[in-house]
Structure 1
């Protein structure tokens, strides 16, 4: 597995983990982040290379620091 794919998997897994800890559905997270539900699913499945702007939107919607999404 190349490093690009690996980081996408780790990021997607972390988003899913925090989202579930917060008791949010993908749809609820998408609404709070002003993103489409299918986009959240694609991030969690490592199918999208997300932008910094959208990382910030997701962090804000999850009420965590960006750093927490990258750990």
Structure 2
């Protein structure tokens, strides 16, 4: 049986922050590449906002990965606890 998992909103934010930093982007650079506001990137990373599927696809394109990679990384974050 798996233990407690991290809230998916928080896990997505942590995964996004990690992937953004691995790509060498600031929040501002990622926002520019994904055509979204920097404050929105910040709120996603903090787990305060949940991105739409459209935003997930934009973020993935900016990070040069598949949208499913963002979900897989979120799953990993959820179960690291």
Q: Does TM-score exceed 0.5, indicating one fold?
A: yes
Quote the residue 2:13 is aligned against.
12
Once residues 50 and 64 of structure 2 are traced to their aligned partners in structure 1, the CA distance between those partners, rounded to angstroms, is 21
Larger radius of gyration: 2
More relative contact order in 1 or in 2 (CA 8 Å, sep 6+)?
Answer: 2
Which runs of 4 or more aligned residues in structure 1 lie more than 6 Å from their structure 2 counterparts after TM superposition? none
Quote the residue 1:40 is aligned against.
41
Once residues 9 and 60 of structure 1 are traced to their aligned partners in structure 2, the CA distance between those partners, rounded to angstroms, is 21
Which segments of 5 or more consecutive residues in structure 2 lack a partner in the other structure? 73-81
Which segments of 5 or more consecutive residues in structure 1 lack a partner in the other structure? none
TM-fit CA distance, 1:35: 0.3
